[in-house]
Amino acid sequence: MATGIASGSGQLYLREPVYRRSSYGKAHCHSTVILSGMQNQIHWSSWISELLQVDRSNYSQCQVKTNRKSHRGTIKSCQREGSTRYFDFAVIGSGIAGLRYALEVAKHGTVAVITKAEPHESNTNYAQGGVSAVLCPKDSVESHMKDTIVAGAYLCDEETVRVVCTEGPERIRELIAMGASFDHGEDGNLHLAREGGHSHCRIVHAADMTGREIGRALLEAVVKDPNIYVFQHHFAIDLLTTQDGSDIVCHGIDTINTETQEVIRFISKVTLLASGGAGHIYPSTTNPPVATGDGIAMAHRAQAVISNMEFVQFHPTALADEGLPIRPSNARENAFLITEAVRGDGGILYNLDMERFMPSYDERAELAPRDVVARSIDDQLKKRGEEYVLLDISHKPKEKILSHFPNIAAECLRYGLDITQQPIPVVPAAHYMCGGVRAGLEGETNVRGLYVAGEVACTGLHGANRLASNSLAEALVFARRAVQPSIDHMNISKIDHSASNWWPRPVAPLLLGDTVLNKVIRRTREARKELQSIMWEYVGIVRSTSRLTLAETRIIELELKWERYLFQHGWEPTMVGLEACEMRNLFCCAKLVVSSALSRHESRGLHYTIDFPHVEESKRLPTVIFPSQLNSSWSSRQLHKQQIC
């Protein structure tokens, strides 16, 4: 099979590449990392359409296999043949991006929303702060753009930034029209908060549960839509792709129903990947348990281009359970987020001696961008040998605190802490992937029929560091922008009911028996903890070349050791189970992060290395990862063999 990105990938307009290296060295190389020299010459969005070779007028050149059962137009209902489902659109993920997209494309065809757990369980549900949008007469698109680019350490694509900052307000109005309820001030207008890195009040919010409110409104609309079918507890395994000449084409997705262990295949004309991030490559993350990098890993295995994976955002203020009066009885699956809005509302950071420290690190103090605040806290903890710092909002009126942050107040009170009287113990935790599957201005990827939106995508908006509350805005804008090209693609595509037989089917490992399965699961959980420990120890907030190199070696060794254990116990490469497949995705994403970090010989935004502590203008370039033909590990190759059209 052909595993290169495209036959012409050597001429992907990467003029004067600054750096090229083998990702994992020797026999373990899986991809090529390039610091692209295009950034200083033309816009990301202009280049990306050429790089990704997306030209809608040429879609007809790649005809999917057809037979007499194939038909154009929409599939009128959810068609099912055994364990295969046929849809016009398949959406992987039930967060803000996936649901918003589904509601639009459902006007033109049938939609499968495939979600790993319950539909509400996504990063959107845990987004506290709000959505950034220019809705105040004193604010401007130019000001929002400037704040975004400054926070992104000047690695943002200006055209992408302008698109999001310009179209964001209309996306907010659409949410309100759909029934989303946001906070209003005494004057009857939307209450706009301010967060770190923003020069104006522009954060639309619903107290400190904004994501939950948006998710509620979207899910209610989805449930009412007769063209949308939600498949919960369906874990996405791999994208179904074929190769047509130099083009990779996506035809759907394989999943496993984690409640019944049945493998379900979805054949679709268009697929949207909106599966969120990969926070669980680290031991402490604000992300929900479902955020194991599945979308990024699947796209990488399907030969999609990946970009900027070195930029992992650590939220500076997650609740530090060690500092609570009453410690939680059980370890949390994900850290509890203390929203940026607390600092935006006047919260002050202190060390344990109640010394305010942020002014000594940055003139913006607590309102500095997240990367600055997280590094400052990390420095304080290491210098003082302490486990957490304190975030104090208690000097504000009690009624204001409780009205703005009811969820945080209630969570802290469960453990004996009254935030209206006491400071909150906080510590940085992995929070957001600024990198991901590379996308153009319409969410297109280099894989035909595959679009991306939300945290799984790298659109160029965030650059080297995401500005607070820009993520929900980006998800809304790109979910909407992907709609028309998706409809266009659907209209010239065909569904072949024999397509389900083009790829061998994955199988659940039930034949191994409970004893062996329990051993495999136990070893997988141990490997997961080991991987997370390596990532925190060597690929955290402050990095070095030697530590990154050591991480690279240890991750490869751990992965091969884990795979060897599975296969020695009867596991086959086509076997699939939730924990094993999550583990292969975590390995894949961890290697992408380390490889990208090693390729950047400067400190920019979220990537800080003591070996190259300064920003280098000549290296103001995105990293680009192309899949290679040396896919030697299970985590880096698709379970099935690609078929050729």
Rounded Cα distance between 508 and 530, Å, is 25
Closest CA to 249 of 70, 53, 110, 82: 53
Question: Is the sign of the CA dihedral 441, 442, 443, 446 positive or negative?
Answer: negative
- Nearest-angstrom CA–CA distance, 477 and 162: 11
SS3 (DSSP) at 19: strand
CA torsion, ordered 120, 123, 127, 133, to nearest 10 deg: -100
Structure tokens at 50: 């050429």
Tell me, yes or no, if 370 is annotated catalytic: yes
Count Cβ atoms below 10 Å from residue 422 Cβ, excluding itself: 15
Cβ neighbours of residue 228 closer than 8 Å, sequence gap 6 or more: 102, 103, 106, 111, 113, 222
In the sheet with 192-193, reading across from the earlier edge strand, the strands are 131-132, 203-204, 192-193
Catalytic-role residue among 370, 480, 543, 604? 370
Four-point Cα dihedral 463, 280, 587, 470, nearest 10: -20
Helix (H) or strand (E) holding 313: strand 312-319
Token pair 């600092």 is at which residue?
343
Task: Give the closest residue to 602 by CA, choosing from 576, 625, 623, 631.
Answer: 623
**CB neighbours (10 Å) of residue 515?**
9
Instruction: Name, in order, each residue with C-beta under 8 angstroms of 54's C-beta and a sequence gap of 6 or more.
Output: 440, 444, 445, 446, 448
User: From the centroid of its chain, how far is CA 238?
Assistant: 17
Q: Which tokens go with 541?
A: 């907030």
Residue-wise over 595-628: b if at least 16 C-beta within 10 A, else e? bbbbbbebbbbbbbbeebeeeeeebbbbbbbbbb
Contacts 24+ apart (CB under 8 A), 525-531: 525/579, 527/558, 527/561, 527/562, 527/583, 528/579, 528/582, 528/583, 528/586, 529/283, 530/558, 531/281, 531/555, 531/558, 531/586, 531/587, 531/590
**5: its two tokens:** 């990105």
63's CB contacts (< 8 A; 6+ apart) are: 494, 645
Encoded tokens for 346: 């006047």
3-state class (DSSP) for residue 422: coil
Is residue 119 within 8 Å of residue 92, measured between CB atoms? no
| Residues that are catalytic | 370
